[in-house]
Structure 1
Amino acid sequence: MTLLLRRLSLLVACYLLAFAAVAAEPIKQEDPFALAQEVAKRTFGRINNEQPKIQADPEHLKTIVVEELIPYADYRFAAYKVIGQSSLKKSTKEQRKRFVEAFKGNLIVTYAQLFTEYNGQTVAFLPGKLSDENYATVKTVIQQPGRPDISVDFKMRRNKKTGLWRAYDMVAENLSMLSQKEAELRGLIRQKGLDEVSAMLEQKNQAKIVFEEPEKEEAP
C-alpha cells in the first residue's frame, strides 16, 4: 500500500472509531449521517470484542469488513467510475461483473489492513449537508496532538430505486481516494483491458492481513 493510501486509510479508521461510542439504535439507511454512525459503531464494537481472535488471526478482520462495512458501500458505483464511460461501453456484462467483484475484494483487503493501524487519534464532527436529494457529505476533522488538523469528507449516494444511502468515496485535504483509484487503474484498463486489470486486482486481493511496524517520519 502506498504511503498516501496508508495515510488516507488511517484517517478512515480514525473517523470510524470516533463513531463507536454512539448509542445503539436501528440502522437508518434512509439517513446518510445516522447510517454512517451506526455502521461504524457496530464495526468497531466487533473489533473491540473480538481482539483475541484478531490477534491470533489478523485475517479475521476481513470477515468483519465483509459483514459490517461492505453491505453499506456503493462499490459498484465506485468501480464503474474507475472504469470510465469509454471502457464501460466496450465491456461485456461478464467483464463488468468480474471487475466489480475484484474491486470489492480490493476494498476488503484495504479496509481490513487499515484496521490494524489505529493509534489514538480523535475526530471532531462538523454539520453534515445534503448536496441534493441523492448526494450527501459527512464532514469531519482529524485531530492529532502536535500536528495540524486534517479535514476529511465522506461522500454518500442515495440509490434512486431503493432510497437507501451508501458510501462511495473519501476526500482527505481535498484528495479523493476514488480519484486516486481512477488515476491508478483507468489508464491500465485502456491499455491492457478490463480482464487483465481484474486479474491483477484478484492477485492483489490474496494479500494477507498483517500487523505492521509503524512508519518512522523523516526529520524536518
Structure 2
Amino acid sequence: MKFTLFPVALRSLSCLLAAGVLGIGLAGTAHAEDSVNPNGAPSEFVKAVGDNALNAIKQSPQAQKGDLNTINQIVNQYVLPYVNLEKTTRLSAGRYWRQATPTQQQALVQAFKGTLIRTYSGAFTKVTQQSALSIAPFRGDPKADDVVVRSTLSQGNGPSVGVDYRLEKTAQGWKIYDLNVEGIWLIQNYRNQFADQIARNGIDGLIQALNQRNQ
C-alpha cells in the first residue's frame, strides 16, 4: 500500500516536516539561528522553528537536491526537538495504538518518521531564496494547553499555501503534533490509511509496509 499526502503539502511542508527527537549537528551548514523559546508565545515559537528549518534548507544544496542524509540532519536538528512524533503516530494509529505492544509502538514511531521524511524530501527542491513563512495573528486562548497557529508559506515558484500547526503544552514547553495544509489535517489523512492497512495485515503489517517504503 502506498502512503501518500496531498500534493500541495510537498510544497508547503518543506520548512517544517512532521516527524519525532534527536539533535545531531548539521555538517557544513552555518547560518544565524533564531532563538526558539518553547515556553513563549505559540506564534513566536512556530515562527522561530519554521524559519530555522527553512533557512537551513536554503543554505543546503544537498537538501534541495533531495539528499536524504542531509534532510535527516536538518529535520533532526531544527524540527524534531519541537515535535511530539509519538503523539502524532499514536493519534494516526487511533484505537489500534492500544493494541500494539510497547516494542511495536516504538517501531511504528520510527517507521512513520522515515515515511514522513522520505515523503516530504521532494519538497526541499521547491524551496527558493524567496520562500518565507508568515504567521497570522494568534486568536486563540493564550492560556490554553492546546492551540492552533495559522501561517502562510509564500514561494517564488508557486502560489502561497496556508499551513496550520496544532501545538500542545508539555512539561518541556510547546510541541507540534499535527499539521493542516489547505484544510486537510495530517493525522486524519494517515489515520484512514493506517486503519485500512492494520485491518488487513495487523500492526506488524503496517510497520513492514512503512519500512518497505522507506528503503
Fold shared, TM-score > 0.5 on shorter chain: yes
- Bigger Rg, which one: 1
- Per-residue CA distance 1:55-76 (angstroms, 9 max, x = gap): 6772322221222212222111
Residues 59-78 of structure 1: pairs in structure 2 closer than 5 A: 59=68, 60-78=70-88
Which residue number corresponds to residue 138 of structure 1?
A: 149
Structure 2 residue corresponding to 1:80, chosen from 80, 90, 107: 90
Which residue number corresponds to residue 216 of structure 1?
A: none
Q: Structure 2-normalised TM-score?
A: 0.76
Q: Structure 1-normalised TM-score?
A: 0.74
1:4: Cα distance to partner? 5.3
SS in 2 for 1:5: coil
Which residue number corresponds to residue 44 of structure 1?
A: 54
Which residue number corresponds to residue 67 of structure 2?
A: 58
Distance 1:15 1:44, change over 3 A: closer
**Pairs aligned (count):** 196
- The answer as to 2:129 corresponding to 1:128 is no
The residue identity in structure 1 corresponding to 2:165 is F
Q: Percent identity?
A: 22
1:26: Cα distance to partner? 2.4
1:15: Cα distance to partner? 7.9
The residue identity in structure 2 corresponding to 1:152 is V
Which residue number corresponds to residue 20 of structure 1?
A: none
Query: Which structure 1 residue ranges, 5 or more long, are not aligned?
Result: 17-22, 207-220
- The answer as to 2:120 corresponding to 1:111 is yes
Residues 1-220 of structure 1: pairs in structure 2 closer than 5 A: 5-13=6-14, 24-31=33-40, 32-51=42-61, 53-54=62-63, 58-59=67-68, 60-85=70-95, 87-118=96-127, 120=130, 124-130=134-140, 133-142=144-153, 150-159=161-170, 162-206=171-215
SS in 1 for 2:36: coil
- Per-residue CA distance 1:129-152 (angstroms, 9 max, x = gap): 44562111111245579x986533
